[in-house]
């Protein structure tokens, strides 16, 4: 039976989440290296004692933020509606990626995670593992489409998965650096065109089989999230 959460426990959870959200704003504004615990205290409007009751320092808060961020990624893909053609499925997939980039542009936090991953092993590990699992899932989807005749028979699955992920990550980085370089929604059709021409087999496709593999692979990804993306098992 599920244990009932007491009022003090609920308040403690709310305070912890308040700290995490405040830290996210502070890290996005100042950068992880420059932000201090004092910045987080001011942003959250809490005492130093309340902060240290929940976290040992800013590194631990950053780990909690990273864990939360990785858990949330790709959730929308589970909600893709049924498609009647490979083109429609690709368009839905691209729309999710563009929506994700658009939402992330409101905060520089994602860039802080990737920048920290190039310098800090404790960040690099979970970020790299998440990308490995993401590439594996995309690869499985491509492999299923190839086996079902939806995608080209000569498709290099691993190489294609890497390049598709690189398009997404590269687009996010370029727009983070220069938000005015191009209007994001303008990319939707050419992105879908590029994927369709690169991936599609001649003579039609088995979209239903591909969709069933999409659902299964994404379910596996999220079922494993608590084990593979956790940056601090004691949290």
Q: Which domain holds residue 152?
A: 69-228
Q: Residue 3 pLDDT more than 70?
A: no
45 with 139, same domain: the answer is no
- Helix, coil or strand: residue 106: coil
Highest mean pLDDT, choosing among 60-69, 136-145, 191-200: 191-200
> Rounded distance, CA 27 to CA 112, Å?
7
Global pTM reads 0.75
Q: Residue 171 pLDDT more than 80?
A: yes
Closest CA to 230 of 104, 136, 129, 116: 129
77 with 11, same domain: the answer is no
Lowest-pLDDT range of 120-129, 192-201, 217-226: 217-226
Map 152-216 to HEC letters: CCCCCHHHHHHHHHHHHHHHHHHHHHCCCCCCHHHHHHHHHHHHHHHHECCCCCCHHHHHHHHHH
Q: Residue 173 pLDDT more than 70?
A: yes
In tens, the pLDDT along 82-138 reads: 778 888 889 988 998 898 888 887 677 888 888 888 888 888 988 888 888 888 888
204 with 128, same domain: the answer is yes
- Inside any domain, residue 63: no
Q: Residue 8 pLDDT more than 70?
A: yes
Closest CA to 38 of 58, 17, 13, 18: 58
Residue 42 belongs to domain with CATH number: 1.10.10.60
Per-residue model confidence (pLDDT) at position 233: 35
At 166, the pLDDT band (50, 70, 90 cuts) reads very high
> Rounded distance, CA 117 to CA 113, Å?
6
In tens, the pLDDT along 19-29 reads: 999 999 999 88
Bridge-partner residues for 151, per DSSP? 200
């Amino acid at each position: 039976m599920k244990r009932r959460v007491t009022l003090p426990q609920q308040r403690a959870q709310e305070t912890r989440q308040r700290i995490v959200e405040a830290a996210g704003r502070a890290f996005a504004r100042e950068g992880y290296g420059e932000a201090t615990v004092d910045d987080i205290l001011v942003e959250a409007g809490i005492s130093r004692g309340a902060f240290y009751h929940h976290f040992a320092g800013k590194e631990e808060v950053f780990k909690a933020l990273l864990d939360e961020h990785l858990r949330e990624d790709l959730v929308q893909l589970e909600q893709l509606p049924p498609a009647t053609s490979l083109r429609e499925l690709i368009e839905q997939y691209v729309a999710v990626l563009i929506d994700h980039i658009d939402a992330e542009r409101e905060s520089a936090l994602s860039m802080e995670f990737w920048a920290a991953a190039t310098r800090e092993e404790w960040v690099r590990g979970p970020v790299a593992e998440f990308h490995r699992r993401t590439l594996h899932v995309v690869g499985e989807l491509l492999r299923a489409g190839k086996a079902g005749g939806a995608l080209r028979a000569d498709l290099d699955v691993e190489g294609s998965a890497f390049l598709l992920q690189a398009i997404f990550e590269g687009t996010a980085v370029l727009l983070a650096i220069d938000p005015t370089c191009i209007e994001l929604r303008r990319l939707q059709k050419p992105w879908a065109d590029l994927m369709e021409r690169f991936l599609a087999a001649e003579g039609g496709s088995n979209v239903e089989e591909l969709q069933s593999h999409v659902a299964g692979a994404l379910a596996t990804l999220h079922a494993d999230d608590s084990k593979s993306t956790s940056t601090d098992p004691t949290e």
